[in-house]
Structure 1
Amino acid sequence: MAIRRLAEEQRLSGAVVAGGMIWLAGQVADDATLDTEGQTADILRQIDALLADAGTDKRALVSIQIVLADIGDAPAMNRAWDAWLDPAQKPARMTIQAPLVNPDWKVEITGVALAPR
């Protein structure tokens, strides 16, 4: 079976394409000084880029998991999410609160998408 690793870093790949699926690593904002809405928009831009690298787009997303450092920031995160989302192609989604590795990060998003055939 072929495995394709995208946006490889020291400890992880930004995404892995295998078995007809695209597995996204947890994405965090490039600019941790942004507010929750800004960090979310930045992360969604990164997800768009990873999916494009894999030959697809957000319409192929099957599932998304969102981690907020503070669940009270959900409305700000949802503003960026709603602006980005294709309302005809909504993935399953979960949102939880948990501490993130960098205390300046407010959001981390991971997900799974179908790979193009």
Structure 2
Amino acid sequence: MSDIERIHSTDRMSRIVKHNGTVYLCGQTAGEADWDIQRQTEECLKKIENLLADADSAVDRILSVTIYVRDMKDFAAMNAVWDAWIKDHPKPARACVEARMARPEILVEMSVVAAANG
């Protein structure tokens, strides 16, 4: 049985969990009150890239992404940023749902599962 590695842990959660060659990232948000959905999406994607690097993984190793948007009216604007970001990479499985967020300024949250390198 493989060990479970927890990276960037707090009293509440780990930002990264690795097990059996799989990387699990906690939900990523970028909820600045003056940022629109596109800026928040860009910032979430930057965080994801950095966490994947910390976990010895990368964007082209993403297996699945669950995207939560506060309001589906922002779906097309979020997708414009996503599509530009993912265009040169293998496409992961993806789900996108409308959800109530922890704080009203959060417009998008992304949860990622990826394969570790090697």
Amino acid at match of 2:32: D
TM-score of the two chains, using structure 1 as the length reference: 0.92
Inter-partner Cα distance in structure 2 for 1:56 and 1:86: 18
Inter-partner Cα distance in structure 1 for 2:36 and 2:59: 23
CA-CA distance at 1:53 after TM superposition: 0.5
Q: Which residue of 1 aligns with 2:85?
A: 84
Q: Which residue of 2 aligns with 1:103?
A: 104
CA-CA distance at 1:79 after TM superposition: 1.4
TM-score of the two chains, using structure 2 as the length reference: 0.92
Inter-partner Cα distance in structure 1 for 2:79 and 2:19: 30
Q: Give the length in aligned residue pairs.
A: 117
SS in structure 2 at match of 1:89: coil
- Unaligned runs of 5+ residues in structure 1 are none
Q: Which residue of 2 aligns with 1:28?
A: 29
Inter-partner Cα distance in structure 2 for 1:89 and 1:17: 21
Inter-partner Cα distance in structure 1 for 2:79 and 2:57: 23
- Unaligned runs of 5+ residues in structure 2 are none
Identity %: 37
